[in-house]
Amino acid sequence: MAKKTKIMKSSKILGLILLALVLFSTSCTKSEESPIEENIDGTYLQFSTTTGNEQNDIVLYSNWVKTEFPQSSNSGSVQWHLPYIPNELLNLDQDVVLIFAKRNHLFQLPMTAPTSNEHYTTDFGKYAKGVLASIRVYAFNWQTEPLNDIFFGANTEAMFRVVIVPGQKMFELSATNSNTIESFTYEELASRFNIPDGL
């Protein structure tokens, strides 16, 4: 009987150890699914829709978002995430998505700012909460040079806007126009689709 009791106790202990290992493994998996998301506050970009000059021309444009880039950095590269884009508003496989910057003039990203010796790139990642649009600034020699005066830094009051053109609109425009949406300036895009709030 004592031997049987000892075996039962050992089985219970082994079961508890296995349960603890499963719980630990699950918690680690959850935290590793989307590490970028852990540093995002979960806010979303606000979008409006507008109708263009031709039938069924509909695009979405976000509110202007104030820059959160620092004015300078000891690093040669800094990344900033815009608020989430709801998944139901953007299909990365079909839609054209553009990011514009505003600082006295309007700029389309990616871009180079020669006066500040900087490159700006964009990236999009889909997560459970939505699509994250990221903007990264690099110094020309980012491995050795810090970012001394970021062109779209906090003191410049620069702002950013996301414009989404549904994929089907891309095909329609390509059939009638040799220029693709990606080559449009902000002014051309705003005129074509009646987007307000330029400069």
Instruction: Indicate whether 100 and 71 sit together in one domain.
Output: yes
Instruction: Indicate whether 11 and 48 sit together in one domain.
Output: no
Contact assessment for residue 69 and residue 153, using Cβ atoms and an 8 Å cutoff: yes
Instruction: Indicate whether 49 and 145 sit together in one domain.
Output: yes
Instruction: Indicate whether 50 and 124 sit together in one domain.
Output: yes
Instruction: Indicate whether 81 and 176 sit together in one domain.
Output: yes
- Reported as a single tens digit per residue, the pLDDT across 151-171 is 999 999 999 999 998 885 556
- AA letter at 6: K
Helix (H) or strand (E) holding 61: strand 58-62
pTM value is 0.75
Instruction: Indicate whether 66 and 95 sit together in one domain.
Output: yes
How many Cβ atoms are within 10 Å of 67's Cβ, its own excluded?
Answer: 22
Instruction: Indicate whether 9 and 85 sit together in one domain.
Output: no
Does residue 198 fall inside a structural domain? no
Say how many domains are in the chain.
2
Burial 124-154 (b: 16+ CB within 10 A, else e): eeeeebbbbbebbbbbeebeeeebeebbbbe
Does 19 have pLDDT greater than 90? no
Structure-block tokens of residue 39: 């540093």
DSSP 8-state symbol, 157? T
Does residue 199 fall inside a structural domain? no
Range of the domain at 49: 41-193
pLDDT tier for residue 73 given thresholds of 50, 70 and 90: very high
Instruction: Indicate whether 167 and 187 sit together in one domain.
Output: yes
Cα–Cα distance measured from residue 111 to residue 157, given in angstroms and rounded to the nearest whole number: 18
Q: Strands across the sheet with 118-127, in order?
A: 77-81, 130-139, 118-127, 111-113
pLDDT tier for residue 5 given thresholds of 50, 70 and 90: very low
Instruction: Indicate whether 79 and 157 sit together in one domain.
Output: yes
Instruction: Indicate whether 17 and 85 sit together in one domain.
Output: no
